[in-house]
Structure 1
Amino acid sequence: MPPLLLLAHGSRDPRHAATVEALAAAVRVLRPELPVTTAYLDHCAPRIAQVAPRLTDAIAVPLLLNRAFHAKHDIPAALRAAGSAIPVAEVLGPSPLLLEALDRRLAESGPDVADPAVRARTGVVLAAAGSSDPAANATTRAVAAEWRRTRGWAAVTIAHASGTGPTVAEALAALRAVPAVRGTAVAPYLLAPGLLPDRIAAAAAAARADHLAPVLGAAPELARLVLARHAEAALALGAPQPVSRPGAA
């Protein structure tokens, strides 16, 4: 199985890299025989140019939830600039595993998400970064619709922390206008702490959301999803697949 190169955006906030490294550690626990390396587009070390040229047989998995500008342009450009031609797997989203991770994080914030009655009276804001790419925003809306359909929430709507609206406050106001909604929650659709998650948290507090979930972080579902994307890319390349072990992804 080819080595795994995790590609993250990077941030000046040290919590970002700490979360990425925690996710890498979770992946290593699931596949201890698989070499796992991390690299960053910006702000954090090591950068892609420092790592990719020596991992000629690796498969890169971008730690991105949507196929937007970073996936379409920044990562390919960084790899080209590094003189690397390693294959890049699909971005993480959308995936049922992301919905499971959202459930996990929302449960940590208080509501009993396993109770259908609780879900049926709760409206959720899926708060994403937002993108200048309309297709990426449409994908987030589709994730919100699927989350509502499969879990039975009273309503799920999206908000954007940057770029075009709706804002978190606008999304919460829209939820409160839904007759079935008796409580509200905000679920950040973001991988790691930083500026945008902090902006979402501040907006949720100001608009008096009943619950605020943590970011997805190093959730077990994310580690399994990283390995799934890596395996899909390896299969497409005709690489040997790992032998399944009890408890593995």
Structure 2
Amino acid sequence: MSQPVLLVIAHGSRDPRHAATVHALTQRVRAARPGVRVVTGYLDHCAPSVPQVIGRLAAEGVRDAVALPLLLTRAFHAKADIPAVLREATAHHPRLAVHQADVLGPSPLLVSALERRLREAGLRPGDRRSTGIVLASAGSTDPEAIAVMDDIARRWRHTGWRAVRPAFASASLPRTEDAVRQLRAEGCARIAVAPYVVAPGFLPDRIARGAAGADLLADVLGDAPELASLLLRRYDAALAPSRMSLSA
């Protein structure tokens, strides 16, 4: 029996770097799990859309798929947008069963990916205790998503950084530049901004502009191997209940 298709659902952006980064990430996932077919659908701005992909899969006779939101927190897109899009699209294709996977975060693998990007940007192991980190995300008005960012920053701080502060490019405060100034006022010898975003685009560019007063800006998570591993973990977890019921 073939493995269910992995449908990665990305937000989409007018910035071509966004789709290119999503493509690089899915290529890494394919290389890690050759037996799984990986396709991508976008919510906005890019093609193909999620309904278009589901229609194509159904036309090919695919019976099972896992829809995996390429999102780092459970906010509006994960709670409302994506379930609504999937309900509407699958209603026209009742023979295609789509299991929705959980969002990517929080996860220790994401923290490992953040650490990787910081090392690649030039931070050395000996810099840890003198460095303040700005954990910069796109932002949300959802209290759950904001609380998750606070918790990630608090836990990451306990791994040895001088300080870790969450910041947001939109919807919430503080902004990246405000968090940089706060850490500077607290006496951090070095300040690094770690974007908690998957791909480049409008809001990641805003994070980059806010990092102008920092000493170092890490790259987006992109196609980090930890991120590819996490996608496959979420894929497997989404299938676990159905696999158990099939074997019962």
Instruction: Give me the whole-angstrom Cα distance separating, in 2, the residues matched to 1:97 and 1:236.
Output: 23
Q: Within 5 A, what are the aligned runs for 1:234-245?
A: 234-238=239-243
**Which residue number in structure 2 is paired with residue 38 of structure 1?**
40
Aligned to 1:131, which of 131, 140, 149?
140
Structure 1, unaligned runs of 5 or more: 241-249
Question: 2:99 aligns to what SS in structure 1?
Answer: coil
**Which residue number in structure 2 is paired with residue 243 of structure 1?**
none
| 1:223 paired to 2:228 | yes
Instruction: Give me the whole-angstrom Cα distance separating, in 1, the residues matched to 2:89 and 2:138.
Output: 28
Q: Is the 8 A contact 2:190 2:215 kept in 1?
A: yes
CA-atom RMSD in angstroms: 1.4
Distance 1:56 1:41, change over 3 A: farther
Q: Is the 8 A contact 2:135 2:194 kept in 1?
A: yes
Q: Is the 8 A contact 1:6 1:63 kept in 2?
A: yes
**Which residue number in structure 2 is paired with residue 169 of structure 1?**
177
Letter in 2 for 1:193: P
Q: Within 5 A, what are the aligned runs for 1:153-164?
A: 153-164=161-172
**Which residue number in structure 2 is paired with residue 65 of structure 1?**
72
Deviations 1:84-140 (A, max 9, x none): 55111110000010001000111111111xx2x311000000000110101101101
Q: Is the 8 A contact 2:180 2:191 kept in 1?
A: yes
**Which residue number in structure 2 is paired with residue 192 of structure 1?**
199
**Which residue number in structure 1 is paired with residue 94 of structure 2?**
none
Q: Within 5 A, what are the aligned runs for 1:18-167?
A: 18-53=20-55, 54=58, 55-83=62-90, 86-112=98-124, 115=125, 117-149=126-158, 151-167=159-175
Q: Is the 8 A contact 2:113 2:224 kept in 1?
A: yes
Given the two structures, how large is their TM-score scaled by the length of structure 1?
0.90
Question: 1:49 aligns to what SS in structure 2?
Answer: helix
Letter in 2 for 1:37: V
More helix per residue: 2
Letter in 2 for 1:238: R
Instruction: Give me the whole-angstrom Cα distance separating, in 2, the residues matched to 1:33 and 1:222.
Output: 19
Letter in 1 for 2:15: D
Letter in 2 for 1:228: R
Given the two structures, how large is their TM-score scaled by the length of structure 2?
0.90
Question: 1:163 aligns to what SS in structure 2?
Answer: coil
Letter in 1 for 2:136: A
Structure 2, unaligned runs of 5 or more: 92-96
Report which stretch shifted further, 23-32 or 169-178: 169-178
Question: 2:100 aligns to what SS in structure 1?
Answer: coil
Q: Is the 8 A contact 2:99 2:239 kept in 1?
A: no
Instruction: Give me the whole-angstrom Cα distance separating, in 1, the residues matched to 2:63 and 2:46.
Output: 22
Q: Is the 8 A contact 2:5 2:65 kept in 1?
A: yes
| 1:233 paired to 2:238 | yes
Q: CA deviation at 1:239?
A: 6.3
Question: 1:87 aligns to what SS in structure 2?
Answer: strand
Q: Is the 8 A contact 1:2 1:239 kept in 2?
A: no
